[in-house]
Chain A
Amino acid sequence: MLELIVISTLNGVLFGMLLFLLSSGLTVIFSMMGVLNFAHASFYMLGAFFGFQLTKWIGFWPALVLAPLLVGAIGMAVERYGLRNTHKHGHVAELLLTFGLAFAIEEIVSMIWGKSPLDYRVPALLDFPAFTIFSTNYPAYKLFMLAVSVIIFVALLIVLKRTRVGLIVQAALTHPHMVGHLGHNVGRVFMAVFGVGSALAALAGVIAGPALVTQSDMAAALGPILFVVIVFGGLGSLPGAFIASLVIGLVQTFAVALDGSLASAFGPLDPAAGPSVLTDIWNVTIAQVAPIVPYMLLVIILIVRPMGLMGTRES
């Protein structure tokens, strides 16, 4: 039991930090431009596929740098030539544009790399067990993922809180017009933020690709959870996104690891009653419920605290 708790906590924090790599970019883009970037998870997927392809060509370490840069450039192009032109039609049009993009990217990826999972391997340098805990070997690559996420998290924090660039970004979040009047090119700030956000998502993709599954439906699988994270944490709140990422990462990892059901806790139901909704609920294991846990949290938070954990505004 203790083994399960320790390992699941480690994995949960890791998954949470990965979620935060994605949700931080999404949150900053949302609060700055008012655009919910539906294609954010698609940039994550592009990162994984570019990472796979570049690893094949030039090795993992150059790919780790190059793939996020490439995706960041794509993100900037999307902002410059897509979103900026759509802005005049309102936020719904922008949301729809990114929705169409997400759809198109998924199709392009499955067209080029196929629909089946890719053989994206952990680099040989990190392919060893880091430590053994209660007879479970914990892979070094997962520690590497954790380290990368934490480094990026700290770097983001320093850039946003301690540098001039961060100051402008923070100011543009709340007072874009004032920042423009002070002589900063708000359009360029938006483009840069969008690019950095996409690059971070791609970085998450590159490092998550070997550990999770690299497949053309990975964006569609992760995207909705990402939206749950930022609604749960409170739209536009970075600390909220951080807490929500960890909460959802941990909850989902623990749910997957637990095998209990109501039947195993309280004994099986009377078989004479026959199959019904009750028997379904009685017999389902927590692991089977894991995929819907984030959405249940979403519904609960909407009823209890509609602005999210750390959100300040209603809309």
Chain B
Amino acid sequence: MTTAATSTTKVGADAAGGGLRFYGVWLIGIVVLIVLPMIFSSGGSLTSFSLIGIAIVFALSYNILLGQTGLLSFGHAVHYGLGGFAACHMMNAVVSHGWPIPLPFIPLFGGIGGLVFAMIIGWVMTKRAGTVFAMISLGIGELVASSSLILRSVFGGESGITTDRTALPKLLGWSFGPQLQVYYLIAFWLVLSAIAMYALTRTPLGRISNAVRDNPERVQFIGYDPHVVRYLAYCFAGFFAGVAGGLTAINFEIANSALLGAIQSGLVLFSTFIGGTAFFFGPILGAILVTYLQLGLTNLTTAWQLYFGIIFIGIVMYAPGGIAGLLMMHRPLIRAGTLWTVIPSYLVAIVPTIALACGVILTIETVARFSGGDAINLFGIAFNPTSPVTWIAAAVLVVGGAFVARLTWRRIAEAWDRAATVARDRGYLA
């Protein structure tokens, strides 16, 4: 009786607290976006923030397909790129015709560009899900990327279409010449799109998309056509990818065929999956991480793409929930108060895992720089890629690190099981 009473009050408090926390998270996000450029005001960090903002919109749009509808697309950059071209053409048209459309509305036209193509091609593509959809999306991606080089009048061939964002009508005195103003424009569209895409997951369409992902047959039994649901989800994803493309066009003042290509499609897949597809905030984390790594690693190493590949393979094999999934695994333990029993084994595992990572990095860099002969600088220690000392160090780190790390990982798994059992007993784990 008492337990029942307390649990009901607790549920009520949770709902109210949950609402507060829910809006709190969004408000904190908005405040962070506003304050960030005031703390890091250098040109380089503004550029990075702008790129990360665009990558977040793009990754979130991709998750409408992969996470929410279960459609694995290898050609999502098609909508991103077409959105970019639509935005560029719109900006040039606004300037040449003197239309009273200020710059902040341009991403909308990018979105329409992505949407229109999704509406045309989506119906054929979404007939089937799973592997077949993945392959078709790859084929369509290649088709559009190759066609863009042929239709020179629309896509500008190799050099692309350029535009001038400052030539558009001003809004409230903002010319959008300085990067800071572009950053705020991107942040504004980021918040708007994120809210819209979150809201989409709460609509009946969002819910039935999840059902189509999990069991299309049952969806048919209750009277929905999975094909139509997939098509609608595809159109929404295309629209928001187009918005991201439009933002890119504004940011760089150029759209070229590289935006449409397989590399962009691969990057957005990496961001979304590394971040985690099962939670709304997963792609946000992934986009931040991947863009940040991309910007940071390109200066440090020529083999930066290989690190992406390795991180991605590791996530697919060992943590298919991505970073968000790993984080959210700890929630029931925190609530049950058993997290502290796991932490010691984490601390023990850190050392051999870092040793293993260093060994892998050393191996990759040795191979990458073997012919060039540049020294490898790992945490301030210089290694010569042609000297056997480096090879031995790398081998010892990889083999020894892997051996010890496996033992410590096993310890984590055991500690985790104990903590999870306790949490389950206390009723925090389903």
Cα A99 to Cα B316 with chains together (Å): 10
* Contact call B317/A86, Cβ cutoff below 8 A: yes
* Contact call B135/A231, Cβ cutoff below 8 A: yes
Cα A112 to Cα B383 with chains together (Å): 19
CB-CB under 8 A from B152, the residues of chain A are: 275, 280
| Contact flag A108-B124 (CB < 8 Å), given A91-B131, A231-B135, A299-B140 | no
* Contact call B269/A99, Cβ cutoff below 8 A: yes
* Contact call B273/A96, Cβ cutoff below 8 A: yes
Number of interface residues of A (CB under 8 A): 50
Closest chain B residue, CB of each to CB of A306:
B127
Number of interface residues of B (CB under 8 A): 45
Cα A235 to Cα B70 with chains together (Å): 20
- Proximity string of chain B (111-140) to chain A, C-beta cutoff 8 Å, 1 when within and 0 when not: 000000000000011011111101110111
CB-CB under 8 A from A284, the residues of chain B are: 150
* Contact call B306/A224, Cβ cutoff below 8 A: no
In this assembly, does A203 line the interface, its C-beta being within 8 Å of a C-beta of chain B? no
* Contact call B151/A280, Cβ cutoff below 8 A: yes
| Contact flag A93-B316 (CB < 8 Å), given A99-B269, A277-B154, A289-B150 | yes
Chain A interface mostly = helix
* Contact call B317/A85, Cβ cutoff below 8 A: yes
* Contact call B150/A96, Cβ cutoff below 8 A: no
Which of these, B129, B131, B308, B312, contacts A95 with CB under 8 Å?
B131
In this assembly, does A77 line the interface, its C-beta being within 8 Å of a C-beta of chain B? no
Interface stretch among A127-135, A138-146, A180-188, A290-298? A290-298
* Contact call B150/A227, Cβ cutoff below 8 A: no
In this assembly, does B373 line the interface, its C-beta being within 8 Å of a C-beta of chain A? no
Max chain A CB contacts within 10 Å: which of B72, B124, B152, B317?
B317
Chain B interface mostly = helix
* Contact call B143/A292, Cβ cutoff below 8 A: yes
* Contact call B130/A303, Cβ cutoff below 8 A: no
Q: Distance (Å) between the CB of A77 and the closest chain B CB?
A: 13
| Contact flag A298-B320 (CB < 8 Å), given A107-B306, A107-B309 | no
* Contact call A36/B150, Cβ cutoff below 8 A: no
* Contact call A107/B305, Cβ cutoff below 8 A: yes
Q: Distance (Å) between the CB of B108 and the closest chain A CB?
A: 24
Which of these, B124, B128, B269, B306, contacts A104 with CB under 8 Å?
B306
Closest chain A residue, CB of each to CB of B273:
A96
* Contact call B124/A36, Cβ cutoff below 8 A: no
* Contact call A36/B131, Cβ cutoff below 8 A: yes
* Contact call A112/B153, Cβ cutoff below 8 A: no
| Contact flag A315-B305 (CB < 8 Å), given A99-B269, A228-B139 | no
* Contact call B153/A280, Cβ cutoff below 8 A: yes
Closest chain B residue, CB of each to CB of A221:
B142
Cα A99 to Cα B143 with chains together (Å): 19
CB-CB under 8 A from B262, the residues of chain A are: 220, 224
* Contact call B72/A314, Cβ cutoff below 8 A: no
* Contact call B124/A100, Cβ cutoff below 8 A: no
* Contact call A111/B367, Cβ cutoff below 8 A: yes
In this assembly, does B382 line the interface, its C-beta being within 8 Å of a C-beta of chain A? no
* Contact call A231/B136, Cβ cutoff below 8 A: yes
In this assembly, does A103 line the interface, its C-beta being within 8 Å of a C-beta of chain B? yes
In this assembly, does A97 line the interface, its C-beta being within 8 Å of a C-beta of chain B? yes
Q: Distance (Å) between the CB of A178 and the closest chain B CB?
A: 23
Cα A277 to Cα B155 with chains together (Å): 10
* Contact call B132/A92, Cβ cutoff below 8 A: no
Cα A302 to Cα B130 with chains together (Å): 15
* Contact call B317/A111, Cβ cutoff below 8 A: no
Which of these, A104, A279, A314, contacts B153 with CB under 8 Å?
A279
* Contact call B139/A231, Cβ cutoff below 8 A: yes
CB-CB under 8 A from A213, the residues of chain B are: none
Residues of A near any B CB (own CB < 8 A): 30, 34, 36, 82, 85-86, 89, 91-93, 95-97, 99-101, 103-104, 107-108, 111-112, 220, 224, 227-228, 230-231, 235, 275-277, 279-281, 284, 288-289, 291-292, 294-296, 298-299, 302-303, 306, 314-315
Residues of B near any A CB (own CB < 8 A): 70, 72, 74, 124-125, 127-132, 134-136, 138-140, 142-143, 146-147, 150-154, 262, 266, 269, 273, 302-303, 305-306, 308-310, 312-313, 316-317, 320, 364, 367-368
CB<8 Å pairs between A and B, sample of 12: A92-B134, A93-B320, A96-B72, A96-B273, A97-B316, A99-B74, A100-B313, A108-B367, A224-B142, A277-B153, A280-B154, A306-B127
Q: Top 8 nearest A-B pairs by Cβ distance?
A: A104-B309, A295-B143, A107-B306, A100-B313, A103-B309, A100-B312, A292-B146, A298-B139
